[in-house]
Chain A
Amino acid sequence: MELLYFGDKGWGDELFFATLMTIAVSITAMIIGFIFAALFTPLKLSNNKFLNSIGNAYTTVIRGVPELLVIYLFFFGGSGAIMFVASIFGYNDYIEINAFLTGSFSIGIISGAYSTEVFRGALQSIDKGQFEAAKVLGFNKYIYFFKIILPQMLRLAIPNLSNVWQITLKDTSLISVTGLVEIMRQSYIAAGSTRDPLFFYSFAAVLYLMLTFLSMQLLNRLETKYSKGY
């Protein structure tokens, strides 16, 4: 137990901050995912064949390729791409991009593919009459989307979005390969210097379980709040 003391003696404070880092990365990735979903859901529902195939390509590729491969692409490719741009402007030194940004961005793209599918499914299962009625009644675009379609969509999407959140939270463990100090990386460091991997990895598992358990409690509350209308 003294391995978990706060301060210089134990790893308690390090693991605490690592947990905060995991939460921060998950939330950032989820938000980036929503941005991607907002861009690609309309494409997936579009009647234009070209736009539609872009949307489909995004979700198919990201959901069919391992997360680790996507992370490697951005980890090794991200700084390369920025250095290439910088070299055009005559800057030739090595540039390292922030591990937090690379990590949240790569997990965000993955989570965005799942969110896109969720939003598409939710939008498609709203009764067609709702769209027609809103149009017939002549509501402007703001009310049409934010007051009529969005609330109905959220109600259908929230249960599936909490699944996406779980996936995103667990995927953040993979960013440890890029060196970002979140739960997994911190346990790796602690396990290496104390030679007690069993304890630290088990403790990491407990931390993840706590995070998934607590977030499920919160999301279930949200779900009941939004399903009031039923």
Chain B
Amino acid sequence: MDIELMINSFPKLLNATLITLKLLSVSLILGLFIGLGFAILRMNNNKLINKFAYGYSYIFRGTPLLVQIFIIYFGLGQIEYLRTTILWVVLKEPYWCAIIAFSLNTGAYTSEILRSAFQTIKPGYLEAGRSLGIPSKIIFTKIQIPIAIKQSLPAYGNEIILMLKGTSLASTVTLMDLTGVAKYIISTTFKPVEVFIVAGGIYLFMTFIIHNVIKYLEKKYGFQT
């Protein structure tokens, strides 16, 4: 055990954790909007729209995240036309490519979580709201959304933890996130166990925090339905 290496690498790894957290938070926020959008499309009565939303979530859930990042980072740059548009400013940065891939991926999982949450809302609540003459927009924001949040919290908490682990793939497109820096230190010092303990410890600490925040929220939203 090389304790000195562990102490020396800790600040470097902690610094890299900032990038991991940035990637995680930005892609979770974007993913939530994408997920909500596709969940609403999934509940549409139009078969074509429904199939489209299902196809999206099927493709993103059925392929590895690594493939998705590689298609976006290495693949899209190949299209000559894209290089001339304003999109290229975003797509040439590995940081944004990773964020796009993560958001689309977590969006697919989130849409499934939200859809099942919306579908488990008892129709009686909506009927009650409608018969009281509440406008459908308010039924959506004041009745459907709070119940859906409560229903989807446990599954969404898992998704956040999966996404935290997913951000490690950013290191494959040259980003120096926590895993990227850990790999760099391992390959220069050849002390995998020590670095694994420190980096893994940081990841476990983050998982622990997320787990407890979700638990707290579950309590807060734990009203009876």
Contacts and interface: CB of A to CB of B under 8 A. Distances in A.
Nearest to B58: A209
A209 B58 CA distance: 9
A201 B70 CA distance: 7
Interface in B13-58: 58
Contact of A69 (B59, B75, B168, B207): B168
A66 B186 contact: no
Contacts of A171: 64
Interface residues of B, number: 41
Interface of B: 58-59, 62-68, 70-71, 74-79, 161, 164-169, 171-172, 179, 182-183, 186-187, 190, 192-193, 196, 199-200, 203-204, 207-208
Contacts of A212: 62-63
Interface of A: 60-61, 63-69, 72-73, 75-77, 80, 166, 170-171, 173-174, 176-177, 184, 187-188, 191, 195-198, 201-202, 204-205, 208-209, 212-213
A170 to B, nearest CB: 4
A155 B64 CA distance: 28
Name A's interface SS: helix
Given A76-B186, A76-B190, A76-B192, A173 B204 contact: no
A173 B71 contact: no
Nearest to B205: A64
A209 B63 contact: yes
B192 A80 contact: yes
12 contacts: A64-B204, A66-B166, A67-B165, A80-B192, A176-B66, A184-B64, A197-B70, A198-B78, A205-B71, A208-B63, A208-B67, A212-B63
Contact of A208 (B64, B165, B190): B64
B74 A170 contact: no
Nearest to B20: A66
Nearest to A184: B66
A196 B79 CA distance: 10
Given A64-B204, A68-B169, A209 B62 contact: yes
B211 to A, nearest CB: 9
Contact of A202 (B58, B71, B161, B193): B71
Contacts of B63: 170, 205, 208-209, 212
Given A80-B190, A80-B192, A69 B203 contact: yes
Contact of A197 (B78, B190, B200, B207): B78
Contacts of A77: 192-193, 196
A177 B69 CA distance: 14
Contact of B62 (A65, A69, A177, A208): A208
B180 to A, nearest CB: 9
A201 B101 CA distance: 14
- Residue of A80, A197, A213 contacting most chain B CB atoms (<10 Å): A197
B203 A174 contact: no
B128 to A, nearest CB: 34
